[in-house]
Structure formats: structure tokens, C-alpha cells
Structure 1
Amino acid sequence: MNNQTPEAVAREACTAAGLTDPDLVPIKVSENATYRLPQSRVVVRIAKAGQRAAAERELLIADWLRRNDVPAVEPADIPATFIMVDDRPVTFWKELPPHRGGTPAEIATALRRLRALNPPQFLSEIDPFVRLEQRIHAAITLLAEDRQWLLQHLDDLRDAWSHRTPGLPWGPVHGDAWEGNVVTTEDGTTLFLDLERTSIGPPEWDLTSTAIKHSSFGWITAEQYTEFVAAYAYDVTEWAGFVLLRDIREMRMTCMAAQAAAQEPARLDQARLRVDSLRGRRGPRPWRGWAAIP
């Protein structure tokens, strides 16, 4: 088992890959840590232990998207884009040019382009509940009664998923399509980042991410959501299965915050607010106060 810090893992991997930049600038250090090498214009991504297959698949997905002319983050132009440091998978990516988060309309257009592709054989079927049970058990700063409720809610959602309402034909989905993972460069190119959750699944899964920004949290305006619907030519909120996907998405966001609060006590209020919202203690949607977890 590797007990090195993410930075130490990154430096060891860079040395093995022949990258000798003196600077290693953190982009985000969380479950998956990312750093940039300013001189090489390379981004280093360190995945969790035990995620070798997922990290290798992410490189395959990036290459598949490139071959199909769907803009996305690309592997770095170096001989080795994948290295193991003990049990930690490390991948190397091209640094993006200056960019901003995608608008709802830009995200919708990118998702339409992705949906049109024929999925490759290495894409697996979506798992909406991946790691949720582990996140709940790790949420030790929540009340035991709230954790028990979350576990029961998870069971209920799993049962509902197994009896879900049919919708659009399944195809490639990004899996986590929000403005942090679908970005637009200064030249107007919209591209996908963070391909870890790319799978075969219902297109409505990706659409729900933007829909709840309006209906559940009020993060985008009605006008922005209308632009999203027009760009995709489909309104997921009018589909009979939307409520289930909405509930699963909200559950994922809540479990992430709850686990984060166990590691950083300053996030406990946000985690409790989300649990209270799901449990009906915050009134009807849209709920106020939900904030992004950095």
C-alpha cells in the first residue's frame, strides 16, 4: 500500500515518464488529485488506489472521442501516458488552453454530439449508485439516524432503478456533465473533461444534471434552462422517469458532501443542509443554500 502524498506520487510518476519540470502546480487535490507542469504543458492525474482499470479506460475513451471528432481532453504527447506508482494509477494529459465553464446551451450541444456516436465495446453500463454506500458509511460526522435514513433511501432508489420508466434509447453518456466538466475554450470549442464516468446509459442521465440546477437549486435561470432544452431538442423534465433520475442525482450530491464533511468539518453545515432537504425538512424545491463542494 502506498502511503505517499499525492504530490510525492505525482513527482515519482513524472520522473518515470521523463518529465523534469521543477514546478508541480496543484489544480485540485481530492479523491483524484491533479497537477499541472507549466513548462511541459502537461496535466498529471493521480487516481485512487485500486482504480487501474478505470484509469486505463479513461485513456481509451479519450482516444475514442478524438477519433470520432468529439472534442475532449487528450492524452499528453509523451511516450508513457499511464504509470503505476505502487497501487496508484497516474495518467498524463495535454494542458487545456484558456477556458471557462460551458453554458447550458453549449453543454446540450456537446451532449447531442456524444449521443450520436456508436459506443465502443469497452464502455460499460452506467452504475448510478457507484460508491454511494461507502460514502454514507464514511460520513461519520452525520447523525447515526441520518446515515440510516440515507442507507434506506439508497435501497429505495436501487429498487426504483430496477423498475425504471423506459425513455430514449441508451447510448454513450458522459456521466457527470456539468460546467466544470464541459468547458469552452477562447476559440469557442466546447469539450469534455473528466471521462471517468463515461458509460453506456440513458441520455436523460446527462440531461438531468442541468435540469436540477434550475428545478432543484435555482442555480440557473428559467431562460438558461429553456436554451438548454432548445439546444438538445428535448426536455427531460417532461419525461415520466425524470423524478427518479433527479432523486438519484440529489442523493449522489448529498453523499459526496457528507463524506467530505467527515474530512473537513467546515463542510458539515452543507452536508446537513442537503440531508435535511432530501428528508423534507427544507420545504419544496428549489432548495436554497446548496453550494458546490470544491
Structure 2
Amino acid sequence: MITDPVEGPFDLLHRVTLAVGLSSIGAVPIRLAENDLWRLRGQGGVVVRIARAGQSAAAAREVAVTRWLAVQGLPAVRPLDREQPVQVDGRAATFWEELPPHQNGTPSDLAPLLRQLHELPLPVEVPLGRMAPFVRVGERIDAASSLKETDRRFLLTRLDELQRAWAELPAAHPPCVIHGDAWEGNCAVTSDGQRFLLDFERVSLGLREWDLTSTAVKVDSFGTLTAEEYDRFCAAYGYDVRAWAGYPIMQAVRELRLVTFAFQTAGQDPSALREAEYRLACVRGLRGPRPWRWEAVG
């Protein structure tokens, strides 16, 4: 018997909306992944975000952060003015104003929003926490059932090397509010040219270089961004992170995270295993110099 992959998430959405007096009838999935995102119909433009289990504190913090950003005037998604998150079956649900029709931005659309975010004063009332560049990496390596033991040892050794290198990063810009998942998919551009920043789950106090490296590796590591597009990103932001001596360390951490994410995905979707093994071969030096071509997974 073939199971509808949307049936389980929709059942959870139904219980969430029932708990707050909304309706799930006609709801449309925007994205069903680590977090489920739904658009409700006929209710004034409401988007429901259901976090993965164990993320209640993070969901509450995301609401607090976006309310603070609204006061600061940064263009971003806005939470509904209601008590949230709501807990259903161990999952935290939050409710958001739907943006006007939009598409993903480009890196040069993202850059000025990041610059504005990085220049904000540090909030007093919102407990951001410190950036955690290695969060879940070790757990992903341990849990990857498709990893050969020699590859597992390599990744654990690489993780240890990069953690020690991170502790000795050279001087950078002062710590600031960072996005934590700064890529063009988290920048929405409307038909009239308005830009909005999305997805504040990983906002923290950290190094702006971490946000900027996310775009730099697209040209240096993966070849999915042209040199001209990257130059426009740097011009729009006003700084090229590759000029910083600590960039190669951040680049390597980004690569390691994406390798382990691919193996995590392969544990749920065997079709991702080939890409996971290719990424691992790249960082092991078996597929030539950068840039490599990594396909999206998950």
C-alpha cells in the first residue's frame, strides 16, 4: 500500500489549528522537511511553521527575535500577535503573517539585509545565545549507518581538527547579531522589489564572517555562483570575507556540515547516498581541487 507522504504532517497541522481556533481546510504545504511550513487558506494570510521535536525553546526565541527585528525596522517576516508557540504532540507551532507573492532573492538581494542585521545593536531583552558552528555534526556522524568505519573515523578526526582550529581563529569583526543560515532561499523579493529576510531559527551572537562564508563557498567550493555574481554580493555588502585569514577554516567547517547533512538525509532517503559519498570523497581529496559540484539533497 502506498502511503501519502503529506497525510501524517497534515494530521498534525489539523490538530495544531484546532488548538488555536483556526481551520486546516485547504491548507497548502510550502515545505515539509525538518520544519513543516503550511499556508492556511481564507484566514487573512497565515503561515504555520511546525518545528521538529525538541525545538520549543528555539521556536519561542525565533518569535522573540522577529518581534525585536520589527522594532528595529529590519524587513523580515512577522509573527502573528498572539501567544506562541503552541505545543501539540511534542512539536512547537508558530504563526506568521504571509508575505506578498514573492520569489527567492539573489545573493546581491541578500547582502544589504545581512549588512543591516549585522549593524543592529545587541538586544538586551532577547537571549540570543552564542553561535554553534558544530551543532549536530558529531551526532550526524555517529548516527550515519551508511558510513564505513574508516570514513567515520576520518570525519570524526576532521571534526576534532576543525574544532581546535576554530578555537584559534584570527581576529575578525566584533561579535554581532548573525542570521546563521544566510542563503538566498532565506531572502524573499516581491514583485515590486521589496526584500524580506526569512527563517530566524539559527539567529545568534557570533561572527558575521560565518554568514558571509555561506555565500563565498558557493563560488569557491561548489562552483554554483559565478565570480561576477559573488563580486556583486561583496559590493552590496561592502566586504569580501575571503580577505580574512580565518576564511579557510570557516570554509572547511561549512563543507563538513554539508557532508554530514547529506549522510543524515541518506538515512531517510537512500537516493541521497550517492551524493553523500561524493561529498565525502571531495573533502578527502579524491575528486580533485575545488570547486566541486555538489547537488542539493533533502
Please name the residue that 1:31 is paired with: 34
Counterpart of 2:154 (choices 149, 155, 158) is 149
Normalising to structure 2: TM-score of the pair? 0.93
Three-state SS of the structure 2 residue aligned to 1:36 is strand
Counterparts of 1:168-207 in structure 2 under 5 Å? Answer: 168-207=173-212
- Using the alignment, how far apart are the partners of 1:272 and 1:230 within structure 2? 36
Q: Which ranges of structure 2 fall in alignment gaps of 5 or more residues? A: 1-6
User: Do structure 1's residue 216 and structure 2's residue 221 form an aligned pair?
Assistant: yes
Matched position secondary structure for 2:185: coil
Shift of 1:141: 1.6
> Contact 1:109 / 1:232 at 8 angstroms: preserved in 2?
yes
Please report how far the alpha carbon of residue 144 of structure 1 lies from its aligned counterpart in structure 2 after TM superposition. Answer: 2.3
1:51 Cα deviation after fit: 1.2
Separation in 1 of the partners of 2:208 and 2:201? 17
Q: 1:187 and 1:81, CA in 2 relative to 1: closer, same or farther beyond 3 A?
A: farther
1:23-102 equivalences under 5 Å are: 23-40=26-43, 41-77=45-81, 79-102=82-105
Letter in 2 for 1:177: A
- Structure 1 residue 189: Cα displacement: 1.7
Instruction: Point out where structure 1 has 5 or more consecutive residues left out of the alignment.
Output: none
Cα displacement (A) at 1:38: 2.3
Report % sequence identity: 47
Q: CA RMSD in A?
A: 1.4
Cα deviation, residue 159, structure 1: 0.9
Q: Which runs of 4+ in 1 moved over 4 A?
A: none
What is the Cα deviation at residue 154 of structure 1?
1.0
- Give 1:21 deviation, angstroms: 3.8
Q: Aligned letter for 1:166?
A: A
Correspondence for 2:10 among 7, 11, 14: 7
1:142, distance to aligned residue in structure 2 (A): 2.4
Contact 2:25 2:41 in 1 (8 A): no
d(CA) in 2 for partners of 1:142, 1:223 = 37
Aligned to 2:123: 120
Please give the alpha-carbon distance, in whole angstroms, between the structure 1 residues aligned to 2:159 and 2:118. 28
Structure 2: how far apart are the matches of 1:162 and 1:200? Answer: 16
* Correspondence for 2:241 among 221, 236, 240: 236
Equivalent residue for 1:249, pick from 249, 254, 263: 254
3-state SS of paired residue (1:183): strand
Answering whether residue 21 of structure 2 is matched by residue 18 of structure 1, we say yes
Show the counterpart of 2:3. none
The 10-residue stretch of structure 1 (16-25 or 199-208) with the greater mean CA deviation from structure 2 = 16-25
State the one-letter code of the partner of 1:72.
A
Q: Which moved more, 1:44-53 or 1:193-202?
A: 44-53
Aligned-pair distance for 1:293? Answer: 2.2
2:232 maps to amino acid: E
Give the TM-score normalised by structure 1. 0.94
| 1:205-259, Cα deviation, whole Å (9 max, x unpaired) | 1110111111111111111111111111111111100001111111111111110
